[in-house]
Structure 1
Amino acid sequence: MNARLDEVWQAIDPTRLRRTLLQMLDIYSPSGKEEDIQLYLEEVLSRAGFRVERQEVERERYNLRVTMGSGAPALYLVGHVDTVPAWDLEEFGAREEENLIRGLGSADMKGGCAAMVEAWLAISDALGPEERPSLGLLLVVGEEENGDGSAAFLQQCHPPWVVIGEPTGLAPCFAHYGYLEAGFVTRGLRRHSSLPELGHNAVESMLRLLLHLGKAPLFDRERGEIVYSIRELSSSRAGFVVPDRCEAWIDLHLPPGMDPAALQGAIRGIAAEAERFIPGLDMEVSFDFASPGYDLGDDSRPARLVEEIYTRLGRTPRLSAFRSHSDGNLFHGAGTRPIILGPGSLESAHTADEQVPFHEVAEAARIYAALALGMG
């Protein structure tokens, strides 16, 4: 691998990589509206001489899949091209500041996608068709919503390994948190707002319920293992009245070994205890989505290969567990082993100041290329 890897690394073009990333950032591609960016990426890959397959997810929404080498790829590089909606439609695009590239999706995960495309182009530039590894590149839609792009791919293909370029600061994650989405509804009695004593305020019940949940040892942020965030809180909007309905959604990220079903039971039990402290509580609990985490361990060929690559780059691999939710859970549930590894950090993802250091994007391209040669 060493001689070929040197050739491929030399073929990585920082100017081309920067141009690809900046153009991707200037294309608005929130979940459900990914066609424009897929058309751009399809053109880039087709221009390099590859036949790009469109994998339909729904009307005007499709994944892009391309392969090289012979046989079914043992490894796919996987990136999602969709983003969360823009905070400001006037300022969603790319902005450069020294080594930082800012813009919607720069960390999550257009930086990773651009690095994967550059690794792919460098391999094809440096190596003849017969020298290229057996490798797949998959650019999916819908990750920021329900993962329907990856789900569509997994209906047809189950590669042994994938590398997903979510933002990890280039820390290789062979473990992944699970995810649970919990919904709570409280109901009250509507009355004129000037006569609250005659009604029952569903918002007050919800606030007391959430405070009760937050006091449970299970949700202790300092000593507990669960990461939770109250994502949404809304009530009925009916004018000058005591609200009779309130709804809340909570995101919960679970350490790899925790069973989401067991956590659901624990949450139901804690919520039920609230009836002792909240007068007239009328409550409903539901769980719309659950996905277990996983831990692939550090005794595998890819783990040893990562250590070798990082040593060669002068880096120390900090094996970690990916703390967010991603398509990695879907792939693992389907029998594929996912490594989460990409430029940028979760700290800036989904914020108005999203950013990625360009040197990390370039380094990610080298890492992806080396993994492709070592595993393909």
Structure 2
Amino acid sequence: MTATRDAIWHAIDPTRLHETLMEMLEIYSPSGKEEDIQLYLEDRLRQAGFAVARQVVEEDRYNLRVTMGQEPPQLYLVGHVDTVTAWDLEEFSPHEEEGIIYGLGSADMKGGCAAMIEAFFALAGLPEEKRPPVGLLLVVGEEENGDGSATFLTGETPPWVVIGEPTSLAACFSHYGYLETGLITRGRRTHSSLPELGHNAVESMLRVLLHLGRHPLFNRKTPELVYSIRELSSSRAGFVVPDRCEAWIDLHLPPETDPATVRQAMENQVEGAVAFIDNLDMEMSFTFDSQGYRLDTDNWLADELAETYARLGLPLKFDAFRSHSDGNLFFEAGVKPLILGPGSLETAHTSDEQTSFAEVVAAARIYAALCLAVARTKEPSPAP
């Protein structure tokens, strides 16, 4: 096994990997508009000799699926090709400085996708009968509602997936849950020189948010639960008192925390705001939630990681993935997800998004080693 792994690692080509990543970064692929990058990746995979299957999500949107081995895949490498929307493409343009690659999606998660593709290129050098039973899945829509992964899961539930979200190569067998909340306050519009005749929806919203933030759940001194006001906007209609204000809140929940418990606590706290905010007209909605999870690290994948990281001279850290990802969807479907990829969440979604190219190369070697290890494990597939 060691000789095979070393041969595969030798077949990983940093120059080819660098080319793949930089060309991916040049293609703008926000959620909902992923066709250009999928066409590029499909062509690149076909030229390498792979049979690439399209998995239609909706018109002009599809996943790409590649498998190898003589049995159904026991593990999939999963990457999402979409990014958040760029407010200024020039600010997000790709470039490289001293081994650090910048650009929209460099960490989240085109770096991980490029590493997975390179791992598959290297594995393709094995004789057909020696290729492990693994798959490569490049999905759309992760940054929105996860419709790409949801589509895949309607037809297939492998035992394991490795998702290349940015973790700085930490191995995340645990995952935070997520709750997205929307608030709307309404007021009465008047000329801004006569605010006493109107009702300011922004002031109402600020009071509600301050009251909500006083709940013990959202105490930042004990930040187990991550509470972030993501957006705040009001009506724009000239020199007037605003009659509408909207806020969006992201909550990332520790693995054992039930989103329903947090939701009830928020509803109770907001209801209490009526007592001290005059004429409060407000609605609250919960648009998305997912339960976190914690997997046992006593498994063959963790054992292989320990050996692989030691061989690469890398420190192995087990962690919980703090953001939202398709990992929650896979776990709910009965699949065991490992979140592991190059880059970090710190700069993701910003104009300073970046990843170390050395981490991308290391990720390709880690992914290849995990794929090779599949051939040595006999874990049954979940029931369809």
- TM-score normalized with structure 2 length: 0.95
Matched, 1:326 2:330: no
- Cα distance, 1:277 vs structure 2: 2.3
Matched, 1:304 2:300: no
Instruction: Give the percent of matched residue pairs that are identical in Structure 1 and Structure 2.
Output: 69
Gaps of 5+ in 1: none
Q: Provide the rounded CA distance (Å) in 1 between the counterparts of 2:227 and 2:201.
A: 23
Q: Provide the rounded CA distance (Å) in 2 between the counterparts of 1:267 and 1:91.
A: 37
- In structure 1, the partner of 2:110 is 110
Q: Provide the rounded CA distance (Å) in 1 between the counterparts of 2:29 and 2:17.
A: 19
- Cα distance, 1:333 vs structure 2: 0.9
- Cα distance, 1:91 vs structure 2: 4.4
Task: Tell me the amino acid that sits aligned with residue 342 of structure 2.
Answer: P
Q: Provide the rounded CA distance (Å) in 2 between the counterparts of 1:241 and 1:92.
A: 35
How many pairs are equivalent? 375
Q: Provide the rounded CA distance (Å) in 1 between the counterparts of 2:186 and 2:40.
A: 49
Task: Tell me the amino acid that sits aligned with residue 308 of structure 2.
Answer: I
Q: Provide the rounded CA distance (Å) in 2 between the counterparts of 1:241 and 1:94.
A: 42
Q: Provide the rounded CA distance (Å) in 1 between the counterparts of 2:12 and 2:93.
A: 24
Q: Provide the rounded CA distance (Å) in 2 between the counterparts of 1:67 and 1:185.
A: 47
- Cα distance, 1:242 vs structure 2: 1.9
Gaps of 5+ in 2: 376-384
| Aligned pairs for 1:51-200 within 5 A | 51-125=51-125, 127-200=126-199
- Cα distance, 1:237 vs structure 2: 2.6
- Cα distance, 1:281 vs structure 2: 1.7
- In structure 2, the partner of 1:272 is 271
The 10-residue stretch of structure 1 (226-235 or 91-100) with the greater mean CA deviation from structure 2:
91-100
Task: Tell me the amino acid that sits aligned with residue 204 of structure 2.
Answer: S
- Cα distance, 1:94 vs structure 2: 2.1
Q: Provide the rounded CA distance (Å) in 1 between the counterparts of 2:291 and 2:122.
A: 36
Q: Provide the rounded CA distance (Å) in 2 between the counterparts of 1:150 and 1:218.
A: 31
Q: Provide the rounded CA distance (Å) in 2 between the counterparts of 1:228 and 1:375.
A: 38
Q: Provide the rounded CA distance (Å) in 2 between the counterparts of 1:194 and 1:330.
A: 51
Task: Tell me the amino acid that sits aligned with residue 29 of structure 2.
Answer: S
- For each residue in 1:185-228, what CA deviation from the matched residue of structure 2 results, as whole angstroms up to 9, or x when unmatched? 11222223222112211110001111111222211112131112
| Aligned pairs for 1:197-236 within 5 A | 197-236=196-235
Q: Provide the rounded CA distance (Å) in 1 between the counterparts of 2:136 and 2:164.
A: 12
Q: Is the 8 A contact 2:103 2:353 kept in 1?
A: yes
Q: Is the 8 A contact 2:189 2:243 kept in 1?
A: yes
The 10-residue stretch of structure 1 (164-173 or 37-46) with the greater mean CA deviation from structure 2:
37-46
- For each residue in 1:161-203, what CA deviation from the matched residue of structure 2 results, as whole angstroms up to 9, or x when unmatched? 0000000000000000000001111122222322211221111
Q: Is the 8 A contact 2:91 2:351 kept in 1?
A: no
Moved over 4 A (4+): none
- In structure 2, the partner of 1:19 is 19
The 10-residue stretch of structure 1 (241-250 or 348-357) with the greater mean CA deviation from structure 2:
241-250
Q: Is the 8 A contact 1:256 1:295 kept in 2?
A: yes
Q: Which SS does the other structure have where 2:271 is aligned?
A: helix
| Aligned pairs for 1:35-46 within 5 A | 35-46=35-46
- In structure 2, the partner of 1:361 is 360
- TM-score normalized with structure 1 length: 0.97
Q: Is the 8 A contact 1:26 1:92 kept in 2?
A: no
Q: Provide the rounded CA distance (Å) in 1 between the counterparts of 2:28 and 2:199.
A: 44
Q: Provide the rounded CA distance (Å) in 2 between the counterparts of 1:105 and 1:83.
A: 6
- Cα distance, 1:28 vs structure 2: 0.9
- For each residue in 1:101-124, what CA deviation from the matched residue of structure 2 results, as whole angstroms up to 9, or x when unmatched? 111100000000000000000011
Q: Provide the rounded CA distance (Å) in 2 between the counterparts of 1:89 and 1:6.
A: 40
Q: Is the 8 A contact 1:178 1:254 kept in 2?
A: yes
- For each residue in 1:18-42, what CA deviation from the matched residue of structure 2 results, as whole angstroms up to 9, or x when unmatched? 1111111111111111111111111
Q: Which SS does the other structure have where 1:302 is aligned?
A: helix
Task: Tell me the amino acid that sits aligned with residue 42 of structure 1.
Answer: E
Aligned-residue RMSD, C-alpha: 1.1
Task: Tell me the amino acid that sits aligned with residue 150 of structure 1.
Answer: S
Q: Which SS does the other structure have where 2:129 is aligned?
A: coil
- Cα distance, 1:316 vs structure 2: 2.5
Q: Is the 8 A contact 1:87 1:352 kept in 2?
A: no
Q: Is the 8 A contact 2:161 2:336 kept in 1?
A: yes
Q: Is the 8 A contact 1:34 1:141 kept in 2?
A: yes
Task: Tell me the amino acid that sits aligned with residue 255 of structure 2.
Answer: P
Q: Provide the rounded CA distance (Å) in 2 between the counterparts of 1:293 and 1:37.
A: 30
- In structure 2, the partner of 1:242 is 241
The 10-residue stretch of structure 1 (333-342 or 195-204) with the greater mean CA deviation from structure 2:
195-204
Q: Which SS does the other structure have where 2:130 is aligned?
A: coil
- In structure 2, the partner of 1:258 is 257
Q: Is the 8 A contact 1:55 1:65 kept in 2?
A: yes
